[in-house]
Amino acid sequence: MTLRIPDRRRVKATRWAMVCGLLLVACRRQEEIHVDKAAAAKDSSFDAVLPNGFEMVQLRGEGSERMRAPTGARVERTGRGFLVEAGPDFAVEVVPDAPAVSELATPPGVARVVSDANTAVFEAPDGAYSFVVVRELVPEWDEDRRRRLSCGSAGGGVSGAGTRADKRGFSKSAVQIMVAACRTLELPALE
């Protein structure tokens, strides 16, 4: 049996092929990591936290439904309910006799990105968000008389059909703040 020593050129070529193969694998792995980071950057988490400086506003005047809104927010009666507005990033409609969140339809082309028992957040293809929070409130003076109110981004259909993120939308951070404000919606307490 004869032991054959490989030609030097073949050894060098084989080494280069192995190095190139390893680099190619490493580059592809780096590309996959980059894609995973990009996917993680579009985080679908949703944190509804009310910032400092929000105050209670009465919807119908003293002793009525109330909620927290930015200082200086104005409350206006609409045909369906109330509009609470404070600048371009805070505009919510409060509407009585709302359907449950589970009964709201999601319009075509709009994605429901957050949904729980009393909150639905929608995203339009252009990245604009809208939402609906449904609160079932029970007056202290009459526990048998429940009131279901919806509080949603202005411009959306918060009563009847689903909201319209494609009609008027807000940034994700603005919607997070408005959802937190809508969750403070309450009836007056007996004193």
In the sheet that 147-153 helps form, which strands lie side by side, from edge to edge? 74-77, 82-85, 91-96, 147-153, 129-137, 119-123, 111-115
pTM of the full structure = 0.71
C-alpha 167/C-alpha 85 separation (Å) is 17
Residue 31 has a pLDDT of 35
pLDDT tens-digit map of 20-52:
454 444 444 333 333 333 333 344 577 888 899
Confidence of residue 7 (pLDDT cuts 50, 70, 90): low
Instruction: Show me where the domains of the chain are located.
Output: 1-42, 54-182
User: Which of 173, 127, 175, 123 shows the shortest CA–CA distance to 151?
Assistant: 175
Residue 156 has a pLDDT of 60
Nearest 5°: the CA angle 44, 49, 52 is: 145
Q: Mean pLDDT, to the nearest integer, of 17-22?
A: 49
Residue 110 in contact with residue 164, Cβ under 8 Å?
Answer: yes
Question: In this model, does residue 74 exceed pLDDT 60?
Answer: yes
C-alpha 118/C-alpha 184 separation (Å) is 13
Q: Which of 19-28, 86-95, 154-163 comes out lowest in average pLDDT? A: 19-28
